Structure formats: structure tokens, C-alpha cells
Amino acid sequence: MSQTSYPRWSPAELVAELREAAEEIAPELNGIKAEETLEGESAQMIEEMAEALKRIASGAPRPQEIARTALAAQTPRLPIGRPQTGVRKAVKPRR
């Protein structure tokens, strides 16, 4: 029996799937925000590392510093999901 090989997911696809999973599980975790779950942290880490690699690949100066910064994972957590306030609706662009 032959094994079917599936194409790999892009970083953007992985991030989207992880964020969706984080939003699904967070309500069950009593006060833990989606971005604080393993899935949410993983999504942000993949996104940050992919961005760092893009910068390095495009010839950005000091590639080792870019890599160190990405690996340190010291940036603030970015929120996942819809905002809890109506602010987003207030600044929605006109069509």
C-alpha cells in the first residue's frame, strides 16, 4: 500500500489554524486568554520566526541579532480574536 504525501502547510496556514484552536479552547480555561494558550503562543512564535527568516533572507543587516531576538521570544503577546469592545466597528473603513 502506497503512502499518500500531503503538501506541507505554510507558516501563515499554521498560524491561522493555531489561532483558531486557541480561540476554541480559551473559553474553557477560566480566564486564560487565547494568546496565552499553548496554541496562541505557538502561533505568535511561528509568525515571529517566519518574519525574522524573511528579513534575514532578504539581506537585512545583523542577521545574528535578528535571530537572537526572535529566539528570545520577549515581545508582548498579541491578542487573538475579536476585540471585546466596539472600537473596531467605530474605525471600520468605509466602502
Query: Residue 48: how many CB atoms within 10 A of its CB?
Result: 17
For the chain, domain boundaries:
11-90
Instruction: Determine the Cα–Cα distance for residues 67 and 71; give it in Å rounded to an integer.
Output: 6
For every one of its 95 residues, what pLDDT tens digit does the chain have, with 9 covering 90 and above? 677 888 999 999 999 999 999 999 999 999 999 999 999 999 999 999 999 999 999 999 999 999 999 999 898 998 987 665 544 444 445 44
> Do 44 and 35 form a contact (C-beta atoms < 8 A)?
yes
Q: Nearest CA to 27 among 74, 76, 84, 86? A: 84
Q: Nearest CA to 18 among 60, 56, 46? A: 46
> Do 67 and 55 form a contact (C-beta atoms < 8 A)?
no
pTM over 0.85: no
